[in-house]
């Protein structure tokens, strides 16, 4: 139960020794990872995170999400005190904690690979932190059993971690964190080692848990479904920079830029290179010979912001494209993915791929099991939910 404030946090990993000295003993291994990402590299080292500012309210559930290597773990580890903060200020519950070691921050963390103490029983794993605090035995016992009850691991309390399945280990790792009743709960991809079914189950358990223990959560994931379902607010990161902070609704419906639009939502948003045109003061977007009129709200915003006609990227989510009998744009079905309640159609329109979600209700008798390759369909694009991105990839509206 505490607020967490990050003010303009920056993390630079110094160049490794071998890099500095172009070393005699330098291994090739070290030089590769830095090529993979577009992280900024300065004289001091690799900038893993920069300009990270975020105010986390008490009891808020924040999710950091982004592709691999974007600096999510680094940010979390700085909050935990496992990595030093190169620049900026970190406050937990109003207290500046930049130089406070992890044990003084009153946080708990769940690691991706669980990091259970292999030589201790499940009970001792969970009791470890409490014993260090010299809590009375009876109270430790009560808390451990209570947590075990919540997580449904009471019957494994005497086992060693190696005798548990992945899902059970994950519960123990969470249990170890909740007995502490920490001010802030940190989780680094806690579900990524579990299989799909278990992951869904644990996800809903984390939601339930959250209602029971009611504290501040910071949760790292690269899975946007987890981000959307768990987060009060989502922080989307890329190459060390924050791309957008917002509620799941906001980031989904008003992506701040092209990256966020493409990252959030499956299947991915459809993008089209086109122009924003103006004719007699009326703005419209041409696409495949049709003309998207903008709605009143959009027109007004364009006027307010003084936006000129320009090259744009047009974004439309797959669920906002529908099939129609006549009119619309002609397309050819490439792949039809039956998802159960709906069908994902990958169509090609004049050589470009467009993804359409067709709900089961719209399918009708003849297409009940999907579409066949090469079938001709007509697509209708809903112009009310267009996203327009300018040349700098930022959402115009």
Partner 1 sequence: MRLGQRPAYQTFLLYLALVLVTLFFLLPLLWILRTSLITKAQAYQIPPNFHVQLTLENYIEVLTTNKFARYYLNSAIVSLSATVLSVVFGAMSSYWLSRQPGNMTGAKLAILATQMIPPIVLVIPINTLIRSVGLNDSWMALVLAYLTFNLPYVIWMLLGFYDNVPRELDEASAIDGCSTMQTFFKVVFPLIAPGMMATAVYSFLVSWNEFVFALVLSGNATRTIPVAIAALETQHGVKIAELCASTMLAILPIVILSSFIKKYLVNGLTFGSIK
Ligand X SMILES: Nc1ncnc2c1ncn2[C@@H]1O[C@H](COP(=O)(O)OP(=O)(O)OP(=O)(O)O)[C@@H](O)[C@H]1O
x/- mask, ligand X, residues 17-56, rule CB under 6 A, reads ----------------x---x-x------x-x--------
Rounded least distance, CB 36 to ligand X, Å: 7
- Is 175 among the residues that bind ligand X (CB under 6 A)? no
Q: Which is nearer to ligand X, 68 or 372 (CB)?
A: 68
* Residues between 57 and 116 that touch Mg ion (CB under 5 A): 73
234, 240 in Cβ contact below 8 A?
no
Binding at 88: pick from Mg ion, ligand X, partner 1, none (beta carbon under 5-8 Å per type): none
Task: Measure the CA–CA gap between 37 and 35, rounded to whole angstroms.
Answer: 6
Binding at 71: pick from Mg ion, partner 1, ligand X, none (beta carbon under 5-8 Å per type): ligand X
- Is 3 among the residues that bind partner 1 (CB under 8 A)? no
**Stretch of 100-108, 143-151, 339-347, 379-387 contacting partner 1, by CB under 8 A:** 100-108
Binding at 17: pick from ligand X, partner 1, Mg ion, none (beta carbon under 5-8 Å per type): partner 1
Q: Which is nearer to partner 1, 43 or 132 (CB)?
A: 132
Q: Which of 1, 41, 54, 115 binds partner 1 (CB under 8 A)?
A: 115
Q: Which of 3, 18, 98, 274 binds partner 1 (CB under 8 A)?
A: 18
Q: Which is nearer to ligand X, 69 or 265 (CB)?
A: 69
- Is 162 among the residues that bind partner 1 (CB under 8 A)? yes
- Is 82 among the residues that bind partner 1 (CB under 8 A)? yes
**Stretch of 19-27, 65-73, 176-184, 356-364 contacting ligand X, by CB under 6 A:** 65-73
Task: Measure the CA–CA gap between 98 and 217, rounded to whole angstroms.
Answer: 19
Q: Which of 1, 41, 54, 80 binds partner 1 (CB under 8 A)?
A: 80
Look up residue 37 and give its two tokens.
Answer: 């990402």
Q: Which of 3, 16, 121, 274 binds partner 1 (CB under 8 A)?
A: 16
Give the footprint of partner 1 on this chain (CB under 8 A).
16-18, 23, 25-27, 30, 80-82, 101-103, 107-109, 111, 113-119, 128-129, 132-133, 160-164, 166, 169, 176, 180, 193
Give the footprint of ligand X on this chain (CB under 6 A).
13, 33, 37, 39, 46, 48, 66, 68-74, 222
């Amino acid at each position: 139960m505490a607020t967490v404030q990050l003010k303009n946090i920056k993390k630079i990993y110094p160049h490794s020794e071998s890099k500095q000295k172009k070393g005699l003993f330098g291994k090739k291994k070290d030089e590769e990872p830095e090529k993979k990402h577009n992280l900024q590299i300065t004289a001091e080292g690799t900038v893993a995170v920069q300009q990270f500012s975020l105010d986390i309210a008490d009891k808020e559930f924040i999710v950091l999400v982004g592709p691999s290597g974007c600096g999510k773990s680094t940010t979390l580890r700085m909050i935990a005190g496992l990595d030093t903060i190169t620049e900026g200020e970190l406050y937990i519950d109003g207290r500046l904690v930049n130089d406070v070691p992890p044990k003084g921050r009153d946080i708990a963390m769940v690691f991706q690979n669980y990091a259970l103490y292999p030589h201790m029983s499940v009970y001792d794993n969970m009791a470890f932190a409490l014993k260090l605090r010299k809590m009375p035995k009876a109270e430790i016992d009560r808390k451990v059993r209570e947590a075990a009850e919540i997580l449904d691991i009471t019957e494994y309390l005497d086992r060693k971690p190696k005798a548990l399945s992945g899902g059970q280990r994950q519960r123990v790792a969470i249990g170890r964190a909740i007995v502490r009743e920490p001010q802030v709960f940190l989780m680094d991809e806690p579900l990524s080692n579990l299989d799909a079914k278990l992951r869904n189950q644990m996800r809903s358990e984390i939601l339930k848990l959250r209602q029971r223990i009611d504290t501040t959560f910071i949760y790292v994931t690269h899975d946007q479904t987890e981000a959307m379902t768990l987060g009060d607010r989502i922080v989307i990161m890329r190459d060390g920079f924050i791309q957008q902070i917002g509620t799941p609704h906001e980031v989904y419906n008003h992506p701040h830029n092209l990256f966020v639009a493409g990252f959030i939502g499956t299947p991915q948003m459809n993008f089209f290179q086109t122009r924003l045109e103006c004719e007699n003061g009326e703005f419209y977007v041409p696409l495949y010979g049709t003309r998207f009129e903008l709605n009143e709200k959009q027109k007004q915003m364009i006027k307010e912001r003084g936006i000129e006609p320009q090259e744009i990227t047009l974004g439309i989510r797959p669920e906002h494209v529908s099939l129609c009998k006549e009119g619309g744009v002609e397309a050819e079905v490439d792949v039809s993915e039956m998802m159960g309640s709906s069908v994902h159609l990958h169509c090609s329109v004049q050589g470009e791929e467009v993804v359409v979600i067709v709900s089961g209700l719209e399918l009708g008798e003849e297409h009940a099991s999907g579409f066949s390759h090469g079938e001709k369909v007509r697509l209708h694009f809903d112009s009310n939910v267009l996203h327009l991105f300018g040349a700098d990839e930022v959402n115009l509206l």
